[in-house]
Chain A
């Protein structure tokens, strides 16, 4: 075999050595670059081998999927029959079966109204109208749909609400109400008016200073002791108010962080344009401040979403509570793990969605500061 000769300066570029491209190179670079990384890699592989097959086997291969009672479960793996049988309870709690369509209808309305908001092609006007509908009209519709009592719908007491449905009611109410309240509190805390300022500070510090579990407990247990029974609102409403006030205090501090990050020049520029306080806030300061604290706001939302599980201590059964309740049925004892896994999955889906949405929002609204 004769080597091909090239004129000087015309020699073609040779491919890189075999061990510096492709899989081998990637492995060397990322997993085995030095003895410590090699050790970590081997350890990680060991852990994966030890845990993943067992987990997969439990969750999928040895699991029982179809059936109607615990006898259909071999108990070698997960018994998803449990989730299957209890699915309606986990989703809607003890909401009467023939009335569940009311919850489903509200979900459909919410999704139908929300989808156009995520499509860039839809005009701004329609989006504003839909957003206003979702924020103002929709909660009223929901109230009548869920609670009933008019339009020929039978009353469904809030004690029957439960499962994922209740989790969503509490979380969405808390999220939607706490943001505006939090913004007002943040503005109030930075206000020059001493009364407004001190009221806001006291409010924020009070609600931040006590644990949510105490708030819920006070709302559910102590409140009825001081207030006559006729005057005390429904237990769920008390919990909703507690959750909202609690998270608005956190929200206020997040928003205040954003407000403080706005350079003084922006405030002065707004004043120089002749804008009054509210106009300068709404048009200049808040749009910038809120955009900056999106991660913090969503962080609070996610925390709030998960905190809703605490309503268990006041006898409301959210998704997690329902899973626990189901596992105490004498026919289904011993399936609490399946219940917990399902609840964890439910929470993860919602929290992860929120997190992804906030990141896409950040990218979309990114108009500077970073680049």
Chain B
């Protein structure tokens, strides 16, 4: 395990040292505009975040942010091409310029933000590691898990977090590790272990795969911080700003009550809107100009993709995940956008 961590750190250090060349100012945006589409790195299939339908169309929360960036730059959310990436190739794909935007349920950490030469543009989903148990165990808190056998994925931060948590609370446990998520779920479902631990979003998605989803519950404790968000390469601050403010615009729109349905009315029926709304849709102020894109950028994002709440409802709500900390700040969560003015 330690060897693996050392090796992967070495690998990361090696690849990042190879990559002295960051993007030049404006380089990524120019490249995107020239190509006429955003090349977006997404996951190879993660329920609620990126998956395809029977017609091959991508959908999910991560995918929606790719579309939102395209809507902001081109006024057309369909101008996206997706590169499904495995976890191990995601950063090199961004560093080598194969993709313009990495929106692949990637946790924002200090090391990644600095030494990998990438910038996280914000948080689109606050995730954290949780525990799932059978209801008939009668457990209500993770602190009662002393002596439990725990199923999890091998070689992930999940495994390390779990070790930290149990040690910190003076509890013993017996790890049962597997390589693939499917194997972990199957083992848990067949009773090989008492507890299944992974990110809370993953728990909810995997729960639907169990034989009797209702016989299981997720414990309230969240033992790690996993803020997920899109990332861009160092160097092109303009493109970085665009991605950052696209995220903020979706959150701000929800707070302002602007949805993909009512925002169109706002433009037509313009004797009504508040100054903040006018700034948002671009009929007033210079928000678009500041970013170097169309004045109606935020309007296009909300009209074509929706506000944060809509994106959530469309993609994550079907997994029966409670919105929790991902609620707006004025609604019990921590989703908060700096003012758009």
The residues of A with any CB-CB pair to B shorter than 8 Å are 85-86, 88-89, 93-95, 97, 157, 159-160, 217, 220-222, 224-225, 229, 312-315, 317, 321, 324-331, 333-334, 336
Interface residue tally for chain B (C-beta within 8 Å): 36
Instruction: Say whether A159 contacts B96, CB under 8 Å.
Output: no
Q: Which of B48, B89, B319 contacts A315 (CB 8 A)?
A: B89
Instruction: Say whether B52 contacts A329, CB under 8 Å.
Output: yes
B84 to chain A, nearest CB (A): 4
Q: Which of A93, A95, A159, A333 contacts B81 (CB 8 A)?
A: A159
Instruction: Say whether B54 contacts A222, CB under 8 Å.
Output: no
Instruction: Say whether A86 contacts B54, CB under 8 Å.
Output: yes
Q: How far is the CA of A321 from the CA of B182 in the complex (A)?
A: 14
Given contacts A225-B92, A333-B205, contact A157 B48 (CB under 8 A): no
Question: Which residues in B have their C-beta under 8 angstroms from that of A313?
Answer: 86, 88-89
Q: Which of B39-47, B215-223, B249-257 contacts A (4 or more CB under 8 A)?
A: B39-47
Q: How far is the CA of A317 from the CA of B81 in the complex (A)?
A: 15
Q: How far is the CA of A334 from the CA of B19 in the complex (A)?
A: 41
Q: How far is the CA of A336 from the CA of B182 in the complex (A)?
A: 8
Question: Which residues in A have their C-beta under 8 angstroms from that of B19?
Answer: 225
Q: Which of A93, A159, A314, A329 contacts B86 (CB 8 A)?
A: A314
Instruction: Say whether A321 contacts B96, CB under 8 Å.
Output: no
4 tightest A-B CB contacts, nearest first: A94-B56, A328-B45, A334-B209, A224-B96
Q: B83 near A: Cβ within 8 Å?
A: yes
Instruction: Say whether A315 contacts B52, CB under 8 Å.
Output: no
Question: Which residues in A have their C-beta under 8 angstroms from that of B318?
Answer: 330-331
Question: Which residues in A have their C-beta under 8 angstroms from that of B51?
Answer: 325, 328-330
Closest residue of B by beta carbon distance from A317 = B84
Instruction: Say whether A94 contacts B182, CB under 8 Å.
Output: no
Could you list 23 A-B pairs, sorted by A, with CB under 8 Å?
A89-B54, A89-B56, A93-B56, A97-B55, A159-B81, A221-B96, A224-B97, A224-B98, A229-B96, A229-B97, A312-B86, A325-B51, A325-B52, A325-B84, A326-B52, A328-B45, A329-B47, A329-B52, A330-B319, A331-B53, A333-B209, A334-B210, A336-B209
Contact with A along B178-215 (1 / 0, CB 8 A): 00001000000000000000000000010011100000
A317-B44, A328-B46 given. 13 additional CB < 8 A pairs? A159-B81, A159-B83, A224-B92, A315-B84, A315-B86, A317-B84, A325-B84, A327-B45, A328-B47, A329-B52, A329-B53, A330-B47, A333-B209
Q: B145 near A: Cβ within 8 Å?
A: no
Q: B95 near A: Cβ within 8 Å?
A: yes
Q: Which of B48, B52, B92, B208 contacts A89 (CB 8 A)?
A: B52
Instruction: Say whether B82 contacts A159, CB under 8 Å.
Output: yes
Q: How far is the CA of A159 from the CA of B80 in the complex (A)?
A: 13
Q: B278 near A: Cβ within 8 Å?
A: no
Q: How far is the CA of A159 from the CA of B82 in the complex (A)?
A: 8
Q: Which of B223-266 contact A (CB under 8 A)?
A: none
Instruction: Say whether A157 contacts B81, CB under 8 Å.
Output: yes
Closest residue of B by beta carbon distance from A97 = B55
Q: How far is the CA of A97 from the CA of B53 in the complex (A)?
A: 13
Instruction: Say whether A325 contacts B45, CB under 8 Å.
Output: yes
Q: How far is the CA of A142 from the CA of B338 in the complex (A)?
A: 53
A226 to chain B, nearest CB (A): 8
Question: Which residues in B have their C-beta under 8 angstroms from that of A157?
Answer: 81
Q: How far is the CA of A99 from the CA of B322 in the complex (A)?
A: 41
Given contacts A315-B83, A315-B84, contact A221 B89 (CB under 8 A): yes
Closest residue of B by beta carbon distance from A227 = B96
Q: B93 near A: Cβ within 8 Å?
A: yes
Q: B283 near A: Cβ within 8 Å?
A: no
B47 to chain A, nearest CB (A): 5
Q: B161 near A: Cβ within 8 Å?
A: no
Question: Which residues in B have their C-beta under 8 angstroms from that of A225?
Answer: 15, 18-19, 92, 95-96
Q: B85 near A: Cβ within 8 Å?
A: yes
Given contacts A159-B82, A315-B44, A315-B84, contact A85 B182 (CB under 8 A): no
Q: How far is the CA of A89 from the CA of B73 in the complex (A)?
A: 31
Question: Which residues in B have their C-beta under 8 angstroms from that of A94?
Answer: 52, 56
A333 to chain B, nearest CB (A): 5
Q: How far is the CA of A88 from the CA of B86 in the complex (A)?
A: 24
B13 to chain A, nearest CB (A): 14
Interface centre among B52, B82, B83 (most CB of A within 10 A): B52
Q: How far is the CA of A368 from the CA of B85 in the complex (A)?
A: 53
Q: Which of B44-93 contact A (CB under 8 A)?
A: 44-48, 51-56, 81-86, 88-89, 92-93
Closest residue of A by beta carbon distance from B96 = A224
Contact with A along B305-319 (1 / 0, CB 8 A): 000000000010011
Question: Which residues in B have their C-beta under 8 angstroms from that of A220?
Answer: 89
Question: Which residues in A have their C-beta under 8 angstroms from that of B210?
Answer: 334
Question: Which residues in A have their C-beta under 8 angstroms from that of B98?
Answer: 224, 229
Contact with A along B148-159 (1 / 0, CB 8 A): 000000000000
Question: Which residues in A have their C-beta under 8 angstroms from that of B93?
Answer: 221, 224
Q: How far is the CA of A336 from the CA of B208 in the complex (A)?
A: 12
Q: Which of B79-122 contact A (CB under 8 A)?
A: 81-86, 88-89, 92-93, 95-98
B106 to chain A, nearest CB (A): 15
